Amino acid sequence: MTLEDTQNKKDDRQLPIDRVGVKNLRYPIEVRDRSSTQNGGVLRTQSTVALIQLTVDLPHHFKGTHMSRFVEVLNSHGSLLHVLNIRDVLEQLLLKLHAQQAHIEIEFPFFLTKEAPITKAKALIDYNVRFSATLAKSKKKKSALFDLMVTVLVPVTTLCPCSRAISQAGAHNQRGQVTFSVRSAKAMWIEEMIRLVEDSASCELYTLLKRPDEKFVTEHAYNHPVFVEDLVRNVALRAQADSNILWYRVEAENFESIHNHNAYALLEKKSC
């Protein structure tokens, strides 16, 4: 019995599609843990679950793509997708789907064990991380062009410099979120990116705080006030000082505690 392949039928509308594929696919992945290398031990990986998007370009003369092939490529790498074989996945997509460009987005929670600043009480804290990669065939070069962008979403505390300056007692503060994206010359640890952002804020966040810790973080934030503008500039200056970072984009959003709106700022390096 021969089944008709509708996707391969000709399309006469003369409209190529930039990206087509599958989205919101849950899949187990492993992420390298920096702490094991710092302790001189065997390299460990952290197991987590990612939301994955796989897409390719579609020429104007094809009616549709073969959605099943995206899942086939992903599953061909076994039950766990390792972040180091992202390029392999994209190469297989180009081959199996006869595409010129292939894209993958992997978003997942990443956990760190963090100590409270004074009591050293330990607890896990989570961050959202995103890998966005593209592999594109080049007419000028024999090898395909590979681009990888890593993004971390880091919650922080910010304290308003204006409120601190005009108030006789106290100053309003709020939780903020920094979205920090980089392209780097060599692989950059997720922990490095998180630390860079947290060092740029009024104070970092913790999961577990005792009273001595709460006193410390409250006073630390008061002594390090930052506007949302200060926050993105602080991150940008630290990124510029790191020779491994070729390009960056930093966004900050403060979930204001005394306003009925959020404060927002974005700063991006213009060229890679």
- Structural domains of the chain ordered from first start: 15-268 (3.10.270.10)
Q: What percent of the chain has pLDDT over 90?
A: 74
- pTM (predicted TM-score): 0.90
Neighbouring residues of 80: CB distance < 8 A, sequence distance ≥ 6: 28, 29, 30, 47
- Burial class for 205, CB neighbours closer than 10 Å (0-12, 13-18, 19+): middle
Whether 29 and 80 have beta carbons less than 8 Å apart is answered as: yes
DSSP 152-181: EEEEEEEE-HHHHHH-SS---EEEEEEEEE
Residue 35's pLDDT is 65
Residue 44's pLDDT is 75
pLDDT in tens, 46-81: 889 999 999 999 877 777 778 899 999 999 988 777
Report d(CA 174, CA 231) in Å as an integer: 13
Residue 63's pLDDT is 77
pLDDT in tens, 104-115: 999 999 999 999
Residue 60's pLDDT is 73
Helices (H) then strands (E): counts for the chain: 7, 10
pLDDT in tens, 248-266: 999 999 999 999 999 999 9
| pLDDT over 90 (residue 187) | no
Residue 43's pLDDT is 65
